[in-house]
Amino acid sequence: MADLGEGGGGHAKKGPGVKKGKKLNTRVDMTPMVDLGFLLITFFIFTTTLAQPTAMKLFLPKDTDKPEDQNKAKASGALTLMLSKGRTVYYYEGILMTDGSNFKASNFSQIRQVLLDKIKSTDPKDLVIVIKPNTNSTFRDTVDMLDEMTINGVKRYALVDISEPEVMLINASEGGAAAPAPAAAAAAQ
Amino acid sequence: MSRPKIARKSTWVDMTAFCDMAFLLLSFFILTAKTKAPEAVSVLVPNSVSSKAAEDKDQVLVTITKDGKVFFSLSEEARRADLMEELNIQKQIGLTPADFALAKKKDFFGAPLNTIKSFLSLPPEQMKGDLLPGIPCVDSTNNELVTWVAAAVTIYRGEKMNLMVKGDNDVPYPIFKNVIDAFKKNDQLKFQVVTNQEPIPAGSALSKQRDKGIKQE
């Protein structure tokens, strides 16, 4: 920078007294550039690994019309989870009582405890979890619930269509109105 | 007695080589990284603990958007033309070889079969998820996805195809069920759900399994 002024002076004398040009050091300090390079590398590596989507495997059973081909589940080992809107989960153990007395409400943050209690109290070979997403639940709810099975190491679980009495019970509890007698609902089917 | 003089050495280190290497690595990573195509169909996928990376070869992907539209896509370009040919044979939709060539450039398909010809001639800037009708997949009587999956199964017979579902968080469950039904009708009982990885909750059965070194399928 210091030599800039000399060039612009206009009265540069040439001759015996010529000033020797100062030998400039051409070495450039590369350290900041290296820093920048590695910073960018780290940035790119981190961002690429995060964007990698993963895949959850799902195996479906084949639909059969013949009842003898269908998998049997022991009522004592069954836990039915019904997914509904607003991330609520309704559940009952075994068979739904006609008066709806074993029909309980929960949500996604508490359902793990319910599952763990069920796993603890049931013989592993009888345990089967039935997941019934209601029509007003979302894809996310279904995936989260299937994921919950993986997290808790449940080997037998099924994705089943929800039945009419169950929908009525959910509607009744969501509407805040008194639950209609499920026995009547079942009879009407 | 005087001490021997120690020559003063410069502490200057030549960083050029180091710098070269940093940028070489940087360019390597940038070039090898696959650029994510600007997605015409935007989908926010749910989280799961699954850590298995999604396959990207021979992908047969069904995308479900937030508003319940269903799109179908194949990862291999050559297969897209095959798929159109197969659909043409099965459904007699009057496609020409020129249409098959156009299909190769389509990242996804999202129109009812009777309008697929005009869909194929759409310019790329109109290939936007919200502008397109999507594949009808309403109920069991009007489920064209069954035809699409059947065609994909036919072109992939004898080979492995990776059937995948990529759905938005807010997709209503009945739509997802219709998609599953379309798979079931074609005896496609194994498929994968595209998700984002999330950490395994501490203390759960799965995390204990992982600690013991048992790999999850």
pLDDT of residue A120: 86
Rounded to a whole number of angstroms, the distance between the first and last alpha carbons of chain A is: 93
Is B189 in contact with A153 (Cβ distance < 8 A)? no
Residues of B in contact with A143 (CB under 8 A): 46-48, 167, 193, 195
For strands B190-197 and A54-59, give the pairing.
Answer: antiparallel
Contacts of residue A188, defined as CB under 8 A and 6 or more positions apart, other chains included, come to none
Instruction: For chain B, 217 residues long, give each residue's pLDDT as a single digit of tens.
Output: 677 888 888 888 888 888 898 899 989 888 887 665 556 677 888 888 888 888 878 888 888 888 888 888 888 888 888 888 888 888 887 788 888 888 888 888 888 888 888 888 888 777 777 778 888 877 767 788 888 888 888 888 888 888 888 889 888 888 888 888 888 888 888 888 888 888 888 877 787 877 777 655 4
Contact residues on chain B for A139, CB-CB shorter than 8 A: 46, 64, 167-173, 175-176
| B192 in Cβ contact with B165 (< 8 Å) | yes
Residue B24: the pLDDT is 92
User: Using a CB-CB distance cutoff of 8 angstroms, which residues of chain A are in contact with residue B46?
Assistant: 139-140, 143-144
The per-residue pLDDT for A39 is 92
Gap from B154 CA to chain A (nearest CA, Å): 20
Domain of residue A158, CATH code: 3.30.420
Q: Are residues A12 and A6 in contact, defined by beta-carbon separation less than 8 angstroms?
A: yes
Q: Cβ contacts of residue B217 below 8 Å, gap of 6+?
A: A57
All structural domains of chain B with their residue ranges: 47-197
Chain A closest-CA separation from residue B52 CA (Å): 5
Q: Which domain holds residue A118?
A: 72-180
Sheet holding A104-107, edge to edge: A104-107, A88-93, A78-84, A128-133, A157-159
Contact A150 B206 (CB under 8 A): yes
A150 within some domain: yes
Closest partner residue to A138 (CB to CB) among B23, B169, B216 is B169
Nearest CA in chain A to B55: A55
Contact (CB<8Å) B184/A142: no
Q: Where are the alpha helices (DSSP H) in A52-175?
A: 111-121, 139-151, 164-175
Cβ of B173 within 8 Å of Cβ of A138? The answer is: yes
Q: Do A53 and B196 touch (CB under 8 A)?
A: yes
Out of A30, A56, A62, the one facing B193 most closely (by C-beta) is A56
pLDDT at A73: 67
Compute the mean pLDDT over every residue in chain A, rounded to the nearest whole number.
76
A12 within some domain: no
For residue B189, give the nearest of A34, A59, A138 by CB distance. A59
Contacts with B36 from chain A: Cβ below 8 Å: 51
Assess if residue A43 is contained within a domain. no
Average pLDDT for residues A125-145, to the nearest whole number? 88
CB < 8 Å to A135, chain B: 172-174
Residues with Cβ within 8 Å of B128's Cβ and at least 6 positions away in sequence, in order, are B40
* Residue A114 vs residues A10, A105, B148: alpha-carbon distances, Å: 91, 11, 40
pLDDT at A15 over 60: no
Apex A140 CA angle, A86 and B128, nearest 5:
115
- The rounded distance, in Å, linking the Cα atoms of A76 and A127 is 8
Of A29, A138, A152, the CB nearest to B172: A138
> Looking at the domain assignment, is residue A142 inside a domain?
yes
Measured distance between the N- and C-terminal CA atoms of chain B, rounded to whole angstroms:
78
- Cα atoms in the Cβ-side hemisphere of radius 13 Å centred on B193: 30
Read off the pLDDT of residues A37-89 as tens digits, 9 standing for 90 and up: 899 988 888 877 666 678 888 887 776 666 555 666 677 788 888 888 888 88
Q: How many domains does chain A have?
A: 1
Examine the pLDDT at A181 and tell me if it is beyond 50.
no
3-state SS track over chain B: CCCCCCCCCCCCCCCHHHHHHHHHHHHHHHHHCCCCCCCCCCCCCCEECCCCECCCCCEEEEEECCCCCEEEEECCHHHHHHHHHHHHHHHCCCCCHHHHHHHHCCCCECCCHHHHHHHHCCCHHHCCCCCCCCCCECCCCCECHHHHHHHHHHHCCCCCCEEEEEECCCCEHHHHHHHHHHHHHCCCCEEEEEEEECCCCCCCHHHHHHHHCCCCC
Residue of B nearest to A29 (CA): B15
Would you place residue A186 in the very low, low, confident or very high pLDDT band (cuts 50, 70, 90)? very low
Burial B95-126 (b: 16+ CB within 10 A, else e): beeebbebbeebbbbbbebeebbebbeeeeee
**Minimal CA separation from A108 to chain B, in Å:** 14
pLDDT at A1: 36
**Distances A28 to A11, A176, B14, B19 between C-alpha atoms, Å:** 32, 76, 9, 12
Task: Find the residue in B nearest to A51 (Cα).
Answer: B196
**What's the whole-model pTM score?**
0.73
Residue A55 lies in a domain: no
